[in-house]
Copies of this chain bind each other. A is one copy, B any other.
Amino acid sequence: MSAEDNLLKLVEVEEPDDQDYLLQEQVGFILRKAHQRHVAIFAAHIGDLTPPQFAALAKLRDVGETSQNQLGTLIAMDAATVKGVIDRLKARGLVELSKHEVDKRRLLVNLTAEGRDAIERLIPQAREITKETLAPLSAKEVTTFMKLLAKLA
């Protein structure tokens, strides 16, 4: 191989073209898979509630009664999505709705007694889910990962 060929090869290696795009190495693709794995772990522990439904209950426990819209902001769900989630929780008697007396646009959401019981009972399970999701990492790796993931979210 001539010196020119070597130079050419170096240039090719250092300037990857379209041939080198590997789907399975892209953040988006791996992020999607990691999320899928988490959802599967969640479902294995808590079969009768989805992660978004759990998030809604957990946040209501934190903040108490709020408007549907505000709740959506707190759990990163758009208005259309949060409505569906709350509808299903209401149908199961875990939350109750009421109208804001002053601002008539707002729909207030709150836990029912049953909803409060449910979320208190589920929180230990949720800790377990977090633990299992992070199980492939060492304690130190967990700290690092959470710090970096938070920067991306």
Contacts and interface: CB of A to CB of B under 8 A. Distances in A.
A153 B33 contact: yes
B152 A27 contact: no
- Size category of the A interface is 35 or more
A130 to B, nearest CB: 5
A76 B38 CA distance: 14
Copies in the complex: 2
A47 interface: no
Q: Which secondary structure characterizes the binding site on chain A?
A: helix
A99 to B, nearest CB: 26
Contact of A21 (B42, B76, B123, B153): B123
Contacts of A48: none
Contacts of A107: none
B76 A36 contact: yes
A37 B150 CA distance: 12
Interface string A38-72: 11001000000001000100110010000000000
